């Protein structure tokens, strides 16, 4: 018997991201560690296309967006945090 698929879009909670220049293996775990609302964070990132956003004073960018935009300097964000 073949399973019926209602929605072929795969929902993945393990989308790697950077927050203030520090790597997190998943957006979901980062939202738990920083006590962010995953739904609101995901909505804002999706609206911005995965590019850099500021959420609760932290700069967040998705790793897949960084692969498409190598000109973006994530090290600059990390240096600004340490000032």
Cα separation of 45 and 40, whole Å? 9
pLDDT tens digit sequence for 13-66: 578 999 988 999 998 999 999 999 999 998 999 898 888 999 999 999 998 898
- Is this structure's pTM higher than 0.85? no
Q: Which one, of 58, 62, 52, lies nearest residue 12 by Cα?
A: 62
pLDDT tens column, 62-80: 988 988 888 887 776 655 5
**What per-residue confidence (pLDDT) applies to 72?**
84
pLDDT at 81 over 50: no
Using CA atoms, how far apart are residues 17 and 34, in angstroms rounded to an integer?
13
H-type helices in 1-83, by residue range? 27-33, 38-47, 63-68, 74-81
Q: Residue 37: what pLDDT?
A: 92
pLDDT value for 82: 44
Residue 17 to residue 63: CA distance in whole angstroms: 5
């Amino acid at each position: 018997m073949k399973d019926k698929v209602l929605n072929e879009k795969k929902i993945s909670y393990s989308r790697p991201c950077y927050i203030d220049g520090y790597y997190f293996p998943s957006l979901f775990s980062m939202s738990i560690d920083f006590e962010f609302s995953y739904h609101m964070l995901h909505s804002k990132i999706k609206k911005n296309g995965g590019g850099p956003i500021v959420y609760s004073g932290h700069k967040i960018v998705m790793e897949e967006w960084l692969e498409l935009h190598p000109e973006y300097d994530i090290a600059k964000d990390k240096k600004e945090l340490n000032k």
